[in-house]
A = this chain, B = another copy of it.
Amino acid sequence: MGTLHYLMTRTGLGEDGDHMHVMAISLFVTLLCACIVLGHLLEENRWMNESITALVLGFCTGIIVLVTSKGSSSHILQFNEELFFIYLLPPIIFNAGFQVKKKQFFRNFVAIMLFGVVGVFISFAIISAGCSFVFPKLGLGKLLIQDYLALGTIFSATDSVCTLQVLSQDDTPLLYSLVFGEGVVNDATSVVLFRAVQKLTFDDFTGLEVLQMTGSFLYLFFSSTVLGIMTGLLSAYIIKTLYFGRHSTDREIAIMTLMAYLSYVLAELLFLSGILTVFFCGIVMSHYTWHNVTESSRVTTKHAFATMSFIAETFIFLYVGMDALDVDKWKMATTTLGQSFGLFSTLLVLILVGRAAFVFPLSALSNYIRKSSNTKIGIRQQVIIWWAGLMRGAVSIALAFNQFTISGDAKNPEFATAITTTIGVVLFSTVVFGMLTKPLINWLLPVYLRSYSISDTSDPPSPKDLNSINDFHVPLLLDSEQRANGGLFNGMAPRRSSLSMLLAAPTSYIHNLWRSFDDSYMRPVFGGRGFVPYVPGYLSIAEEDEHNSSHF
C-alpha cells in the first residue's frame, strides 16, 4: 500500500507531467467501447468472436503506440498480474457461477473433476517432459528442471474466458458444462500445481512429497468450496433477515456484489483458490440470495454481473493483445528466428498431444462409470472438448510472468524467450484455435445432432426426471417411498430400496437427497424460490425463463 500511495500521489490533481495513468485509462476505455461496437457489428460472423476482436484491436493499438513512441513505451501497457487476478478475473468467474445451469453442472460433476484435476496432471507431465527433452536440443539449455515443470503448468492452464464465448450454454449444454466446468477446476488445479512446483526442493523428492502435494490439493479444493458456499449462504441470510418489511434495492445489490468479491479476496488472503470460491459463491447466490431480493434487484444483478464480466473479458483480451509487443523482452531474447519457431511449434504440438492424452481416455472412463447410454460422451463431442480447451489465455501469461520475471523484467535471455514464446502461443491459440472452434462445432455437430445432444441431458423423460417433479416439496423421510410411488404410477420404475436406487442411478439419488435436504433445512433459513413473498410480475414473464433458476 505504500507503493500504491506513492503511485497515486504521483498522478496528482495539479501535477502536469503525470497524466500517463489518465491517458492509459482513456485509451483503454476508448478501445473497450470500440471492441463492443465492433463485436456487435461482427456478431453474425462465423469466424470472429469478441475475444479475437479485442485481441486484434489491442495488437493494432500496441503497434501504433510503439510506432508513435518510437519503440520506447512498450512498458506502459505491460501485463500486470495483480490487475488480472484481483480485479478482472473475479467478476468473470463469479458471473459464470451465477449464470451456470446448476443441474447440468452437478450432473456432470464426476467428468468435470476427472478432466479438471486428473487431466491437468497428465497434460502437465507430458508438456514438462516434452519441453525438457526438446528445448536443450534447440539451444535453450540454461533452464532448470523447475523451469520445465513451471512450463508444464503454464501450458496446462486452459482459458475458461474464451471457452465461454465459443460454446453456447443453450445450444450445447453438455459440452458447455463439461468444458467450462473443466476450465474452472483447471484454473484452480494449475495454480495449485504451479505453487507446489515453485516450492519444490529436489533434494528430498520422495513419495512423501507427492502425498503432501495431494493432501494440500484436497485441502485447497474443499476449503475453497466451503468458503464460497459459506459466503453465499451468509449473503442470503443477511438479506433475508434484514428485510424488516422494507426492501432497499441499492443495498441488496451492493451486499450481493460486495460479498461475492469478499469471498474471492478472503480466499486469496487465506492462500486458497479464489477462483473456486467465487464460482461456488455465485452458484449459491443464484440459488438462494437471488430469490430473496426485489424484482428490480434481480433484473439489475443478472445484467450488471453479466456486463461486468463482459467488460473484464474484453479488457483482458485487449490487454493481452497489447502486451504482445513487449519490445524489451523481444530484444532481450537472443534466439534466432528458427529457434523461436522451433520452441513455438514444439509447445503447440505438446499442448495438442497433452490434451488429447487425457480427453479421450478420461471420456472413456467417464462413459464407463455412467453406464446409462444417453449420458455418454460421444466421439464427436470428445473431439470438440479436446479442441475447445486448447486455447491458452491470461492465466498462462500471468503464471509465466510470475515464474520468469522479477518486477516485470526478465532475469536472463532464456527467461525472456520463455515469456515471448508464451505470448506467441497464447495469441496463436486464441486466434487460430478460437476461430476454428465455431466452424468445427457446426461441422461435427450439425443442428440435427445437436438437438440429440440436448436430449442427452433433459429429454427423454427418465425416471429421475419424473422423481424430480414428484418430490418437489416432500420432506426427507417420505422421500424414497414417494419417489417409488411416483415411478410406479408412471409405470417406469418398480419399488426399490435406497441401496439399489443408489447403485442404479447414483446421480439422481444424490440429487433427490439434496433436494429434500434443501427443502427441509436450507430454504427455510436461507430463502430461495418459494420462500419469500413472490409477486408474479414482469419478471416471471420476461426474465424468469431467461435466468436459470432451476433447482440443483
Contact A32 B269 (CB under 8 A): no
CB distance A257 to B295 under 8 Å? no
Interface residues on A, range: 35 or more
Q: Is the pair B7, A265 in contact by a Cβ cutoff of 8 Å?
A: no
Interface flag for A433 (CB, 8 Å):
no
- Majority secondary structure, A binding face: helix
Task: Mark contacts of A350-383 with chain B using CB atoms, 8 A cut-off: 1 yes-contact digit, 0 otherwise.
Answer: 0000000000000000000000000000000000
A297, B20: Cα distance in complex, Å? 33
Whether a CB of chain B sits under 8 angstroms from the CB of A248 is yes
A194 and B14: CB pair below 8 A? yes
A162 CB → nearest B CB, Å: 17
Q: Are A32's CB and B258's CB within 8 A?
A: yes
**In the bound complex, do residue A40 and residue B296 qualify as a contact, i.e. CB atoms below 8 Å apart?**
no
The B-contacting residues of A in range 509-541, CB under 8 angstroms, are 537-539
Q: Scan residues 27-52 of chain A and give those whose CB is less than 8 A from a CB of chain B.
A: 29-30, 32-33, 36-37, 39-41, 43
Q: Which of A76-84, A163-171, A340-348, A458-466 lies on the face that meets chain B?
A: A76-84
Using Cβ atoms and an 8 Å threshold, which residues of chain B touch A43?
A: 248
Residues 1 to 44 of chain A near chain B (Cβ within 8 Å): 1-14, 16, 19-26, 29-30, 32-33, 36-37, 39-41, 43
**Apart from A7-B7, A13-B195, A295-B542: 16 A-B pairs, beta carbons within 8 A:** A5-B408, A6-B407, A7-B82, A9-B80, A9-B81, A13-B191, A13-B194, A13-B399, A22-B265, A22-B268, A22-B269, A29-B258, A32-B254, A33-B262, A40-B242, A304-B307
A283 CB–B CB distance under 8 Å? no
Q: How many copies does the complex hold?
A: 2
Q: List 22 A-B contacts (CB under 8 A).
A: A1-B76, A3-B3, A3-B6, A3-B10, A9-B80, A9-B407, A10-B407, A13-B195, A13-B398, A19-B269, A22-B268, A25-B265, A26-B265, A32-B258, A36-B255, A37-B238, A40-B248, A249-B306, A250-B306, A254-B310, A254-B311, A537-B538
Name, among A253, A254, A398, the residue most crowded by chain B CB atoms within 10 Å (CB to CB).
A254
**Assuming the A-B contacts A37-B238, A402-B14, are A269 and B23 also in contact, with contact meaning beta carbons closer than 8 angstroms in the complex?**
yes
Residues of B within 8 A of A5 (CB): 75, 78, 80, 407-408
The answer to whether B310 and A300 touch across the interface, beta carbons within 8 angstroms, is no
Q: Is A142 an interface residue (CB 8 A)?
A: no
Complex Cα–Cα for A55 and B440 (A): 57
Contact with B along A403-419 (1 / 0, CB 8 A): 00111100000000000
